[in-house]
Chains A and B, each alone.
Chain A
Amino acid sequence: MKTIKTCVTALISALLVFSPVAYADKWSDQFPHIKATGDIPGECSYESISKKNYKGKTLKINTHAVPVMGEPTALHAEQFEKLTGAKVEVTHTPAGDLYAKAMVPFQAGQAPYDIVFGFSNFINDWKRYLEPVPKKYTEMRQMKDVTKSHIGVASWDGVMYQFPVDGDRHYLKYRKDVIDNPEYQAKYKADTGKELRVPRTWKEYGEIAAYFNGWDWDGDGEPEYGSAEVMKKDDLMFAAFFSRSVAYSKNPRTPGGFFFDLKTMKPLINNPGFVEALTDWVEATKYVPPGGINFGLGDEINSFGGGQTLFSFSWDDALIAAMQDDSPIKNKVAAAPLPGADRVWNRVSGSWENQYNQAPYIVWGWAVGVANKSKVKEMAFDYLCFFANDANHQADLGIGRFGVNPFKKSDFDPNIYINTMGWDPEIAKSYTDTLLEMEEKSTNRVFPLRVPGVFEFTSAVATGTSKALAGQLSPQEALDEVAKEWEAILERVGKDNVRQAYAVGVKMEDNEL
Chain B
Amino acid sequence: MNFKHKFVFLLPGLVVLIGILIFPIVFTVRLSLSGWNSFNPELNFIGITNYIRLFTDDPRFWEAFFRLSFLSVTTVILQYVIGFALALMVWRDIMFKRFFRVIFLIPMMTTPVIMTVIWRTFFHESLGPVNDILGNFGVTPLWLSNPATAKITVIIVEVWQWTPFMFLLLLAGLLSLPKEPFLAAAIDGASAFRKFVYVTFPLMAPISIGAIIIRLIEASKIMDTVFVMTSGGPGTATETSSFYIYIKGLREFQMGYAATMSFTYLIIMIISLTIIAKVLTKLMIKE
| A474 CB–B CB distance under 8 Å | no
| A156 CB–B CB distance under 8 Å | no
Known: A290-B131, A292-B145, A455-B251. A472 touches B39 (CB 8 A): no
B98 to chain A, nearest CB (A): 40
Closest residue of chain A to B244 (Cβ to Cβ) is A463
**Residues in B neighbouring A492, C-beta threshold 8 A:** 35, 37
Known: A107-B41, A459-B247, A470-B233. A290 touches B252 (CB 8 A): no
Q: Contact: B140 with A290, CB < 8 Å?
A: yes
Q: Contact: B232 with A453, CB < 8 Å?
A: no
**Residues in A neighbouring B35, C-beta threshold 8 A:** 492
B239 to chain A, nearest CB (A): 8
Known: A308-B126, A456-B252, A470-B237. A234 touches B144 (CB 8 A): no
Q: Which of A96, A225, A452 contacts B39 (CB 8 A)?
A: A452
| A294 CB–B CB distance under 8 Å | yes
B131 to chain A, nearest CB (A): 7
**Residues in A neighbouring B143, C-beta threshold 8 A:** 291
Q: Contact: A291 with B124, CB < 8 Å?
A: yes
Q: Contact: A469 with B235, CB < 8 Å?
A: yes
Summarize A's interface: helix, strand, loop or mixed.
Answer: helix
Q: Contact: A470 with B235, CB < 8 Å?
A: yes
A72 to chain B, nearest CB (A): 24
Against A, the Cβ 8 Å flags (1 = close, 0 = not) of B213-256 are 00000000000000000111111110000000001001111100
| B57 CB–A CB distance under 8 Å | yes
Q: How many B residues have CB within 8 A of the partner chain?
A: 32
* Residues of chain A in range 240-266 having any CB-CB distance to chain B below 8 Å: none
Q: Contact: A453 with B251, CB < 8 Å?
A: no
| A47 CB–B CB distance under 8 Å | no
**Residues in B neighbouring A235, C-beta threshold 8 A:** 231
| A293 CB–B CB distance under 8 Å | yes
B71 to chain A, nearest CB (A): 17
Closest residue of chain B to A498 (Cβ to Cβ) is B39
Known: A96-B250, A233-B233, A467-B235. A455 touches B38 (CB 8 A): yes
Against A, the Cβ 8 Å flags (1 = close, 0 = not) of B132-172 are 00000000101111010000000000000000000000000
State A452–B39 Cα separation when bound (angstroms): 6
**Residues in A neighbouring B97, C-beta threshold 8 A:** none
Q: Which of A294, A459, A471 contacts B230 (CB 8 A)?
A: A294
Q: Contact: B38 with A469, CB < 8 Å?
A: no
B252 to chain A, nearest CB (A): 4
A209 to chain B, nearest CB (A): 15
A116 to chain B, nearest CB (A): 14
Which 5 pairs between the two chains have the least Cβ-Cβ distance? A291-B125, A470-B235, A107-B41, A470-B234, A452-B39
21 pairs, CB–CB < 8 Å, chain A vs chain B: A99-B251, A100-B251, A103-B38, A106-B41, A225-B126, A291-B124, A291-B126, A291-B143, A292-B125, A292-B145, A293-B234, A294-B145, A296-B231, A302-B127, A308-B126, A453-B38, A456-B254, A459-B247, A463-B60, A472-B147, A493-B39
Chain B residues in the interface with A (C-beta under 8 A): 35, 37-39, 41, 57, 60, 124-127, 131, 140, 142-145, 147, 230-237, 247, 250-254
10 extra A-B contacts, CB within 8 A, seeds A291-B142, A466-B235: A100-B253, A234-B231, A235-B231, A289-B125, A290-B142, A303-B126, A453-B38, A453-B39, A467-B235, A467-B236
